[in-house]
Amino acid sequence: MRQSPWRRTGLLIGSTLIVGVVLTLLIRRLPPHLEKTYGDPLKALVVLLIGGAISYLLERALFRIPSDRLGSRQLTTLRFLVRLVLYLAIVLAFVAALGVGLSSVVFGSAFITVIIGLAGQSFFGNLIAGIGLVLFHPFEVGDHIVFVAWQYPLLMPSFPHEAMKPGYSGLVTDINLMYTSLITDDGTPMMIPNGIIIQSAIHNLSRRPVQRFHFRFDVAWTIDPETFLAQGAERLRHLPFAVSLQFVDLTPNSFSVVARGELTDMTEEVARHLVMSQLAPLIQALTAETASGR
């Protein structure tokens, strides 16, 4: 009979603990002079190895739980809390293995001073930010988000004449103690420190039923604006989404048109392609008519 994944994980964790106990007993049976010199460091090493193995086994089991079984929010919270408790237990066990009393570590004024001093630094800042992400749920694993952060600026574009937000878009794959993992829209894995995410403006695309889009483009003055807007609107009526054209700006050589629309099950890049596929032949036809003098 095939064992369930959780039963198999439990057996592996139990076996790992037994190995740890055996190694600890072997260390205690070292000659007194060796045990006095190397006993505590060896015990601390055993704690790190056993703790790391148990952490790996539990995380692997948690990631095998389908999100529709517990819900993505509950599953993300569970993974984060298990990691937090495990790593805290490993750190305390490591310190205890070195022969330092837990009470003095936890309640000692020096320890508290150090923690408060480091809380504003990168490590503890990311850890605290990760707790905030799990508690307040600006997004969940599986959500498609765009985060805008001043730490990752983008160059200003020369076209389409508008400033772009320094945003990065992708699918959230994990939220751990230090990083939030994304698969960006171009398929590149990306890991962002939680401290940066918590300071960012976050657009959760998965929580909006309709996505609005707009983009600008220029048309030469050789084409009559009213003719272009009327015939362009007629062509765009056949698209699977609503889109409108507006005359918004002008230069000595061209006028600017903005296309606006709403999408439900399509990316902005695909919508832009469909719009321009309709308008490009129209621009070519009107340009040819003007050149022929008609």
Greater confidence (222 vs 165) lies with 222
Contacts of 236 (CB under 8 A, 6+ apart): 243, 244, 245, 259, 275, 278, 279
pLDDT of residue 286: 92
3-state secondary structure of 3: coil
pLDDT tens digits along 84-123: 788 888 887 887 777 666 565 555 555 556 655 655 567 7
Question: Which residues are CB-contacts of 11 (< 8 A; sequence separation ≥ 6)?
Answer: 3
| CATH class entry, domain 211-292 | alpha beta
CATH topology of domain 144-205: SH3 type barrels. (2.30.30)
Q: Supply φ then ψ for residue 9, to 5 degrees.
A: -65, -40
Whether the predicted pLDDT of 224 surpasses 70:
yes
């305390």: which residue's tokens?
92
- Mean pLDDT, range 248-263, rounded to an integer: 90
Helices (H) and strands (E) in the chain, counts: 10, 8
Residue 258 binned pLDDT confidence (cut-offs 50, 70, 90): very high
pLDDT band (50, 70, 90) for residue 275: very high
Q: Is 198 a residue whose pLDDT tops 60?
A: yes
- Average pLDDT (2-13) is 73
Identify the residue whose tokens are 């993300």. Answer: 76
pLDDT at 105: 56
Retrieve residue 189's tokens: 């894995």
Q: Map out the domains of the chain as residue ranges.
A: 5-107, 144-205, 211-292
Asked whether the predicted pLDDT for residue 46 surpasses 90, the reply is no
Q: What percent of the chain has pLDDT over 70?
A: 80
| CA–CA distance, 181 with 184 (Å, rounded to integer) | 9
- 8 pLDDT exceeds 70? yes
Predicted confidence band of residue 245 (pLDDT cuts 50, 70, 90) = very high
Does the pLDDT at position 12 exceed 90?
no
Per-residue pLDDT of 58-85, as tens digits, reads 877 777 766 666 666 666 777 777 777 8
Integer Cα distance of 45 and 48 in angstroms: 5
Task: Write out the E strands in 134-193.
Answer: 144-148, 167-175, 179-184, 189-193
In this prediction, residue 1 carries a pLDDT of 45
What confidence category does residue 294 fall into, taking pLDDT thresholds of 50, 70 and 90? Answer: low
